[in-house]
Amino acid sequence: MSDLLIFAERVDWHTRSLLAAIAAQGRTAQVVSLRACGFAVGGTAHGLLLPGFGDDLPAACFVRSVPNGTLEQVTLRLSVLHALRELGVPVMNDARAIERCVDKSATTFLLAHAGLPTPRTLVLEDRTDAQMLVDSAPGDSVLKPMFGAQGRGLARLPRGTALPAAEEVGSVYYLQDFVRAPHETTGADDPGDILHEDFRVFVVGGVAVAAMARRGTSWITNIHQGATGVPVAAEGILADLAVRAAAAVGADYAGVDIISGADDRLLVLEVNSMPAWRGLYDATGRNMAEPLAAHLCAARKVPA
């Protein structure tokens, strides 16, 4: 029977890479969807329903994805991850880290609380108050969805731009000061020859193992939005900020997004607790499945 458990919805390139890297460590893993898991209090020795494990517990778990669903479904799935941690099973990443990173406002708060440089951020529910903040901002604002990924749903708002209706943003306005590129001197309508850049640093077990610059003519510098990845050294202040950011949210592994402002000061934008790494692999030739598998296989169960 497999002793490791990967929570994933499908066996895609990432999952296959992870399975191969785990096998290279002399271990085996079973892929299970969190949709199939639950609680079996009185039904199993540990009180959880984990297909393929019965009364046994995995030696460690890796969370590749938590599927979307109703509030009740997502709560149940995260509760399973919480329970595994309470039972002493190492989980990469555990529910606490996932919850902190999925909620961008919590991530930003924890980054600032840890003393990390991050853009000025305001999160509130009242549209009138939010509009006043946009209109009085020192420059453009960025409206972000509280729950979002891959650069989807972002909007750059010059002062005076009307905010969308509350129902279009989940009744929460997450506003962040727009960070201009060091060489950007134009207004909101950028000419296509302006190069925008940020950095993605991959952290595993408290070590920055790889990094890339993401460059494109759009201010949304996500690979899925057309940016190009270029390898950069995962060292110096870039690595230090990324490692500290992952620690601030309690993540065993993370993709940390960092940007350089007009004054060349590096700012931490986001921490991703379930990052993909295909773009990083294409840019650097390094498959993050290898350090991830090594860290997962080295994990040791903590007595409950």
Return the pLDDT at 189.
47
Contact between residue 25 and residue 293 where contact means Cβ atoms under 8 Å apart:
yes
Instruction: Name the CATH topology of 4-92.
Output: Rossmann fold (3.40.50)
Contact between residue 26 and residue 3 where contact means Cβ atoms under 8 Å apart:
no
Hey, which CATH number is domain 120-178, 3.40.50.150, 3.30.1490.20, 3.40.50.10860, 2.60.40.10? 3.30.1490.20
Contact between residue 190 and residue 172 where contact means Cβ atoms under 8 Å apart:
no
| Boundaries of every domain in the chain | 4-92, 120-178, 187-298
Residue 225 has pLDDT above 50, yes or no: yes
Please indicate whether residue 59 or residue 218 has the higher confidence score (pLDDT). 59
> What's the mean pLDDT when you consider all of the chain?
90
Return the pLDDT at 215.
84
Q: What value does the mean pLDDT take over residues 216-230?
A: 70
Residue 185 has pLDDT above 50, yes or no: no
Residue 17 has pLDDT above 90, yes or no: yes
Please indicate whether residue 182 or residue 267 has the higher confidence score (pLDDT). 267
Residues sharing a CB contact under 8 Å with residue 84, sequence separation 6 or more, in sequence order:
48, 57, 58, 61, 91, 94
Residues β-bridged to residue 270: 257
Interval 122-146: pLDDT, tens: 999 999 999 999 999 988 999 988 7
Q: What value does the mean pLDDT take over residues 68-95?
A: 96
Residues sharing a CB contact under 8 Å with residue 221, sequence separation 6 or more, in sequence order:
151, 196, 197, 198, 214, 215, 227
Q: What percent of the chain has pLDDT over 90?
A: 76
| Tokens of residue 62, six digits | 């890796």
202: nearest Cα among 273, 261, 114, 105: 273
In this structure, CATH architecture of domain 187-298: 2-Layer Sandwich (3.30)
Please report which residue ranges of the chain form alpha helices under DSSP H. 13-24, 71-86, 95-102, 104-113, 127-136, 236-249, 278-284, 289-298
260: nearest Cα among 191, 180, 190: 180
Q: What value does the mean pLDDT take over residues 92-104?
A: 95
